[in-house]
Amino acid sequence: MFYRLSLFAASMALSTICASAQTPKELRILVGYASGGGYDAYARVVAQHLGKHLRGTPAVIVQNMPGADGLTVTNYMFTRPAKDGSVIALTNRNIAVAPTLGLIEPKNVQYKAEQFYWIANLNSEVSAIVARSDAGITSIEDLKKRSLLVGSTGLTSNNAIYPYVTNNLIGTKMKVVAGYPGTSHLVLALERGEIAGIGGWAWSSIAVQKPTWISDKFILPLMQLGLEKHPDLRDVPLITDFAKSEDDKLALRLVFAPEAMGRPFFGPPGMDPSAGEALREGFGNMVADPEFVATSTKTKLEITFLNGKSLQTLVADLTRATPAAIARAKQLTERGQTEVDEVLK
């Protein structure tokens, strides 16, 4: 009898441990950038609403972990966090393709994107090249003739890579200064006149951070960067319109496909499947919650939801690109003749 009771007690204890592992009292969202930027804005709105859609209604806390343009938190998520659903992350949307395209030194890459547990994406993004209206550049043709100093959070961020691509593809003359901790710092630098533009700024972030800059024409959108035009920018040219060959089209698709995963939330590899599915379901229920819709509308966050399974498939597809597409994409994303100041002055 003692033996049977012991087995029963052990079984109950194990069940309690498993349940506890699947229902953490606290969920941390690690953001790979400083507070005040677009990624941070999405994470904080999620933190307000996600908890009530998860079993046990855990407290949801945002923790900023800036560094190496999102690579610090990406490597951390692959190697160190708990796998019980208590830690997820939101960071640079390029992490799925950056190693494939050679955008990160191999020695610095400690992750495999397809092995992360992809949970949800809240926004299919379109970025833009923008310039201060007093820079004297109002079109792409102007940008081929005159240089524009643009800021960047790092050499592997969109706001550095996209200027490389545009310079290499059509001969624009953007110069990049890298080293800003986050988009909010780029915005301040642009406002102060330290830089004259941003070579890859998410349109949704502009709407959140500086909506009057467009209406007051403080900045001008020169080109859209993505695979499809944004409804607000129908008269602004799209980067894929400038493809000169089929190889260009395939390469540009590889480079800009991450725009479809504009705000991706993910967990560590080997995450407890039941915890991962609970998070996927929680995000799905959250985006349909009228209170979440009201908050995202009020804060002007664009929501174009992509569920975790679809996001997992997209990442897997990006990591299986053809050699020809990868080769051309690498040519386009190389720094090439682009002038870069890697140390923020």
CATH code, domain carrying 219: 3.40.190.10
| Judgement on whether residues 31 and 83 belong to the same structural domain of the protein | yes
Same domain, 306 and 238: no
Same domain, 280 and 253: no
In a domain, residue 3? The reply is no
Number of domains forming the structure of the chain: 2
331 and 314 together in one domain: no
Across the beta sheet with 59-64, what order do the strands follow?
59-64, 26-31, 87-90, 264-267, 117-121, 306-307
Instruction: Find the domain containing 308 and state its range.
Output: 25-124+261-320
pLDDT at 74: 97
Instruction: Phi first, then psi: give them for residue 297, nearest 5 degrees.
Output: -70, -45
pLDDT for the residue 157: 82
- Averaged over successive runs of 10 residues, the pLDDT of the chain (345 residues) comes to 39 41 82 92 97 96 94 96 96 90 91 97 93 97 97 87 96 95 91 96 88 96 93 95 91 88 95 97 98 95 94 90 92 91 62
Same domain, 32 and 158: no
Q: How far apart are CA 320 and CA 313, in angstroms?
A: 11
Q: What is the pLDDT of residue 298?
A: 93
List the one residue out of 251, 242, 239 whose CA is nearest residue 322: 251
Is the pTM higher than 0.85? The answer reads: no
In a domain? residue 304: yes
In this structure, are 184 and 71 located in the same domain?
no
15 occurs within a structural domain: no
Nearest Cα to 203, choosing from 298, 128, 311? 128
Return all residues near 195 (Cβ < 8 A) that are at least 6 apart.
149, 150, 151, 177, 186, 189
| pLDDT at residue 320 in the model | 85
**Residue 338's closest CA among 214, 159, 207?**
159
Q: State how far the Cα of 125 lies from the Cα of 225, in Å rounded to an integer.
A: 9
What distance in Å separates the CA atoms of residue 84 and residue 274, rounded to the nearest whole number? 9
Q: Could you tell me if 230 and 253 lie in one domain?
A: yes
Question: Taken in order 179, 185, 260, 122, is the CA torsion positive or negative?
Answer: positive
